[in-house]
Structure 1
């Protein structure tokens, strides 16, 4: 997180007090806005109720400074979901189990599809 830093997942723009907000800069247009908001609020609630101190704000280019990040592949995201302990508490264990299974199934279907590009690459080698 940081102030006025567009290289971070959570940005707090500076400006007038009546326009203060937190910008979540990770989710794309394909994200479910209800699940996204529930996850963000759950994470905030978890930290507040346990009186966790946030890390200091990052300044400068976070791409060059921050080592640990979000998963960059669908498989890595599924592995992270399998290891999650906090979010299932907030979204409900049954929902979490079904949602994970659905995302794993989507990933399997996606990987079964051969794109036109893959077809042309491999057919040209024959």
Structure 2
């Protein structure tokens, strides 16, 4: 995924650190869900709290934010469309999306096609195992 705001499989804690460093209401990023495989999370910062909204992809490839019962679901063809929509005021989020938190090195996206056992013999002090909450 080539979106600069997509941070991949970072932990909820790391997400909160990144948004907290930005420190502005309306700061946001997208990360992988830790609980539902294949789902994404839109994380939004407001008044030192990070609000997490689950992004689901339909069988037709459209994206939607998981909503509470009784709220009309909206579908978007791309994540860019979803982001554009939620940058508008009064769309039901804790804060409208205002400040994107981008990854530092976009061109070196991790190759997620390998299983964890492919990395057992890697000798790197930069490798950190992150366990789910």
Q: Normalised by the size of structure 2, how large is the TM-score?
A: 0.24
Higher helix share: 1
Q: Which has the higher contact order (CA 8 A, sep 6+)?
A: 2
Structure having the larger proportion of residues in strand:
2
Computing the radius of gyration from Cα coordinates, the structure with the larger value is 1
